[in-house]
Chains A and B, each alone.
Chain A
Amino acid sequence: MALPKIGTQVAPQIIPTNAGLRTWAAPPQALQNEIVPNELFYIRNHWKESPNIDINTFELKIDGEVERTITLSFEDLKKLPQKRFQVTFECCGNSPVPEYFTKSLRISSVMEQIKGHGIMGNAEWAGVSLKDVLELAGVKDSAVEVMFEGADHGADEVVGDPAEITYERSLPMAKALHEDTILAYEMNGEPLPKDHGYPLRLLVSGWYGMNSVKWLVGIHVLDHKFDGFYMTQRYMTMNEPGNPVPYRFYGKLQVKSIITSPLPGEIIPASGYTLAGAAWSGEEDIEEVEISTDGGETWNPVDKLHDREAYSWYRWEHQWNPPAEGKYTIMSRATNVLGVTQPMEFPNPWDGRGYGNNMVFPYDVEVRA
């Protein structure tokens, strides 16, 4: 066993959140800067082992409702025009659900305790437009959806049934043909790391993370809506009783904001402090971010709301001069250009999965001289 040395500097590290080692959360420090480095970017996989894919024999097959079935090598893909921009995304299970809900619901308690806001990140991605790839095959008018097949498969991680299932998700044609829906092969200037889908993943800009299928090996254009396991049995939540639409599907990221400075447990000096954080709304622009330092009684717009790059989060800063020492509950609240504001409460209390939590998060801090 390696012994600790006196005065060892502590580098932030990715946080294992479940026993099967399929999900790691970013530590709080990783979300303080614009770009989350690859080694601290969250990982949410469905099976313990990431597929091993040899880039020299890699093939991407495009078939279904197309004029011609084609197979592309990695070299073929690299010859297409490159797209490179930042994209922020989160898992739909990101952010802690308030304890008053978790007590009565069947939420995975261990992950709920550990994950914080760490099941999200922002990176610069490079790849090719899915539209360009689909045009090589020629999409027929009969196309309704595009289904994406990953190389990852196995037994369902929750109940083991089905015993063998492949990770597959689909997109409607409008999103599949959007020029910013890309097949990514680089993450922050490096080849896609193995746990992030090497050598190729789908990247659905502005949407929840599970839509962006990793280890992409097949693109299947369908003449019907895809009703596979990971579309209908997972990543869905029940809507409230009486809602004519019984289930909720997680596509576009909802409007949301978080405070990233101070870090959890960091003491705020009474002389003043620059609060900082991030806000995002997927495909929409953010209109305003407000701050409350009195538990939601009063709100003020943040001093500085930086522009985003492509689909990245917006970074914000706000100078706070606390009136006195003591304990405070601070909150950030974002509103997008459509006028949609973060809810004050967890938005899906009638479903047990804790998904889609974009509430205003109370954050307890301490101010000292």
Chain B
Amino acid sequence: MPIIDHSDIRLAPTTERVRERYLVSKDRGAVSLTVKEVEIAPGWEGRLHTHPVDVSIQVLSGAIQVILGDEVRTVRPGTTLLAPPGVPHKLIHHLWTPALLMITYPSAELVTDHLE
């Protein structure tokens, strides 16, 4: 059974203003679960998208903004977002300091359909 030492894994840049690291992943033997940390820097805007599985997004530090209907809600540590299968969601970050998120989904790969 893998014991995953977080200090062995570094946050690596993926796209503009985003760094991430996989804690539980197929590379470590997982077949139906992924857990990763994502750091998002100010000035970032995601695109509206869906996934075919549940995705949970827990705010570990900093804050992130989620768009609900016409409004923007700012969420902080002590908050977890759930994007059910097929439900469009979009995060943005126009705040003072980076957000660190823990993202969990019940698959080893994640399919994303962008709507914008």
Contact = CB atoms under 8 A, between A and B. Distances in A.
Interface of A: 1-8, 10-19, 25, 27-29, 96, 109-110, 113-118, 263-267
Contacts of B106: none
Nearest to A266: B43
Nearest to A1: B68
B43 A2 contact: no
B68 A110 contact: no
A7 B67 CA distance: 11
Chain B: interface secondary structure?
loop
Contacts of A116: 95-97
A265 B42 contact: yes
Given A12-B94, A27-B95, A265 B74 contact: no
A110 B88 contact: no
A2 to B, nearest CB: 3
B41 A265 contact: yes
A114 B78 CA distance: 13
Interface residues of B, number: 34
B68 A4 contact: yes
Contacts of A5: 69-70
Given A27-B94, A96-B97, A114-B96, A265 B44 contact: yes
B90 A264 contact: no
Contacts of B95: 15, 27-28, 114, 116, 264
Contacts of B88: 3-4
A88 to B, nearest CB: 18
A115 B72 CA distance: 18
A110 B17 contact: no
A1 B116 CA distance: 20
